[in-house]
């Protein structure tokens, strides 16, 4: 079986994590788009496994969670009845981040439903080593998902955004749900900034473009690469190390070549 040289595979992943589309990557790297997709799939799958192996027993003090919208193949309103349930339509990525270390502890890709909220919270719980303060937005499924996953072993608060009759933002209300959260730390600012990083770093999240995902599997693999790159490779400008180093689960930054070699 033919295989691209290592440096060519590194170039492809480097372009993808910097926000290039598949076709732009294909043109710049001078390879077929099928080769780009193959590298995306193999490295993405390896990154999923790497995250599961490395991001566990995290000793965080606070965690912020949010959901970010995207779509696969077509928006939900344009999806036919035959396509529903096949990974086509609106897709939500649930993200949990430690605002102190900037580490993305957990992410889950699915719908914006109560069942998905529960699955996400269970994954987040199993990656934490201690009791934390958790802040989410005002999305109601969290009210059941958080206690179902954590029980009473959590300090849980919601930051509920308020709007006027014309849907203009007028402020936010901090609500204590479980335990005794520190009100000065009830915020979702850091996870919302991570959402912006996702939109800037992955072409398939760019609005009003044709770079959106066409297959749910590739959508998941692209995000796996993004989060491992963000956690383990990219130096965060605020903390001046990688989030994984700040969280104590890595001693030095990885390089793009290390992500590619995860496949081997």
CATH, residue 128: 3.30.420
Give Cβ neighbours of residue 55 (< 8 Å, ≥ 6 apart). 103, 105, 106, 127, 231, 244, 249
Burial code (b: 16+ CB inside 10 Å, e: under 16) for 64-80 equals bbbbbebbbbeeeeebe
Tokens 């490395």 — which residue?
54
- Residue 80 and residue 190 in one domain: yes
Question: Which residue range forms the structural domain that includes residue 162?
Answer: 58-212
> What pLDDT, on a 0 to 100 scale, did the predictor assign at position 1?
42
Whether residue 226 sits in one domain with residue 196: no
Q: Looking at the structure, do residues 41 and 171 belong to the same domain, yes or no?
A: no
User: pLDDT, tens digit, for every residue of 26-65?
Assistant: 999 999 999 999 999 999 999 999 999 999 999 999 999 9
Q: Does one domain contain both 74 and 122?
A: yes
Q: Count how many domains the chain has.
A: 2
Same domain, 208 and 223: no
Sign of the Cα pseudo-torsion (247, 249, 255, 257, in order) = negative
Is the domain of 33 the same as that of 48? yes
Report residues of the chain scoring pLDDT below 50. 1
Predicted confidence at residue 28, as pLDDT, reads 96
Q: Are residues 151 and 189 in the same domain?
A: yes
- What pLDDT score was predicted for residue 2? 66
Is the same domain home to 230 and 201?
no
pTM beyond 0.85, yes or no = yes
Say what the pLDDT of residue 101 is.
97
Domain shared by 220 and 187, yes or no: no
What are the DSSP calls for 93-120, one per residue? EEEEE-TTT--EEEEEEE-SSHHHHHHH
């Amino acid at each position: 079986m033919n295989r691209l040289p290592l440096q060519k595979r590194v170039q492809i992943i480097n372009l993808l994590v910097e926000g290039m589309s598949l076709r732009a990557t294909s043109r710049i790297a001078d390879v077929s788009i099928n080769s780009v997709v193959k590298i995306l799939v193999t490295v993405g799958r390896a990154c999923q496994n790497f995250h599961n192996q490395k991001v566990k027993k995290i000793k965080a003090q606070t965690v912020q969670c949010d959901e970010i919208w995207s779509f696969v193949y077509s928006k939900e309103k344009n999806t036919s009845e035959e396509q529903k349930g096949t990974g086509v339509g609106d897709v939500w990525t649930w993200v949990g981040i430690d605002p102190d270390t900037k580490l993305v502890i957990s992410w889950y890709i699915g719908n914006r439903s109560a069942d998905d909220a529960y699955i996400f919270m269970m994954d987040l719980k199993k990656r934490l080593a201690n009791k934390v303060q958790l802040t989410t937005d005002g999305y109601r499924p969290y009210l059941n998902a958080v206690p179902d996953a954590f029980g009473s072993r959590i300090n849980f608060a919601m930051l509920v955004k308020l709007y006027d009759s014309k849907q203009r933002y007028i402020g936010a209300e901090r609500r204590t749900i479980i335990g005794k959260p520190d009100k000065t730390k009830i915020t979702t600012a850091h996870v919302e900034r991570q959402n912006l990083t996702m939109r800037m770093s992955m072409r398939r999240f760019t609005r009003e473009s044709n770079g959106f995902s066409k297959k749910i599997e590739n959508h998941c693999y692209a995000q796996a690469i993004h989060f491992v790159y963000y956690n383990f490779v990219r130096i965060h400008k605020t903390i001046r190390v990688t989030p994984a180093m700040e969280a104590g689960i890595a001693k030095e930054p990885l390089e793009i070549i290390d992500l590619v070699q995860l496949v081997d």
